[in-house]
Structure 1
Amino acid sequence: MKDQKEEIPKRFRIPDGLWEKIQRLLPPQQAKPQGGRPRNNDRRMMEAIVYVLKTGVQWKALPRSIAAGSSAHDRFQEWNTAGVFQKLWRAGLLEYEKIVGIDWKWQAMDAAIIKAPLRGCANRFKPHR
């Protein structure tokens, strides 16, 4: 049988060094009192989440060779609730600060607010025409 990891394109795989850092931020697994199916591999689920975030594919359209979309989405929700992604963002900023440096005294926020293209006056239905 093929190793499932082969099915994930290389650009979506998490390098070992990064995985060690991510793994420390994950919450401990909860024991299932009634047993059931074994929990999916955490690294596999994180790679599936990275795939969805990088490609923009819907969870249900996630290739089955990578992971079941519902399983990956459930894990995403679990880790989001546990604050894993906020911790990961913070750890990344702190590491970048150590290596390159961040001028914490100066920050800027950028945002764009635009009207929906089909809701504007120019595209509105005009019954008199």
Structure 2
Amino acid sequence: MICVQTKEDKAIHTLPTIRRIPNELWNEFKKILPTEKPPKTVGRPIIPYRKVLDGILYVLRTGCQWKMLSKEYGSGSVCHRRFQEWNKLDVFKNAWIKLLKNYDDKIGINWTWQSIDSISVKSPLGGTRQETIPLIEAN
């Protein structure tokens, strides 16, 4: 469950956890993905990208192991392999930028401040300094 507090009424509303990516969001996300393998081709059975994305989001949200992923999302190893491929292709980074732009156009983002977790700047236990994570540009 997700709790949301609105500015208008200061009340907290409980929203259900999203188990499947909504159609509107999927239509935006699929524009960023590489082309899917056509149906009825030689090789292993195809697991649609939408199903794979739902599985990836489930693992990221719950923290479960890839191998323990429910069969409703297809194979856990396929979801993990696609997650790695899409990471290398910057699919999630591009999706994040695109969604931020959409949100900024519709609602507006207060870009006057930024926050960063201190663990990404300071080395744990006084070891050598870790590489700083570069900022994602939205332009």
TM-score by length of 1: 0.70
Q: Which has the higher contact order (CA 8 A, sep 6+)?
A: 1
Q: Percent identity?
A: 39
1:34-63 CA-partner distances (Å, limit 9, x unpaired) = 931232101000000011011110101112
More moved, 59-68 vs 69-78:
59-68
The structure with the greater share of residues assigned to helix is 1
Larger radius of gyration: 1
Which sections of structure 2, spanning at least 5 residues, go unmatched? Answer: 1-16, 126-139
Aligned length: 104
More moved, 80-89 vs 93-102:
93-102
Alpha-carbon distance in 2 for matches of 1:11, 1:29? 24
Query: Which residue in the other structure is 2:116 paired with?
Result: 109
Matched letter for residue 44 of structure 1: K
Alpha-carbon distance in 2 for matches of 1:105, 1:15? 30
Q: Does 1:22 align with 2:29?
A: yes
Q: Does 1:92 align with 2:132?
A: no
Query: Which residue in the other structure is 2:14 paired with?
Result: none
- Of the three residues 30, 41, 61, the one matched with 2:48 is 41
The structure with the greater share of residues assigned to strand is 2
Query: Which residue in the other structure is 1:77 paired with?
Result: 84
Alpha-carbon distance in 1 for matches of 2:49, 2:104? 28
SS at match of 2:55: helix
Alpha-carbon distance in 2 for matches of 1:44, 1:75? 11
- Cα RMSD (Å) of the superposition? 2.2
TM-score by length of 2: 0.65
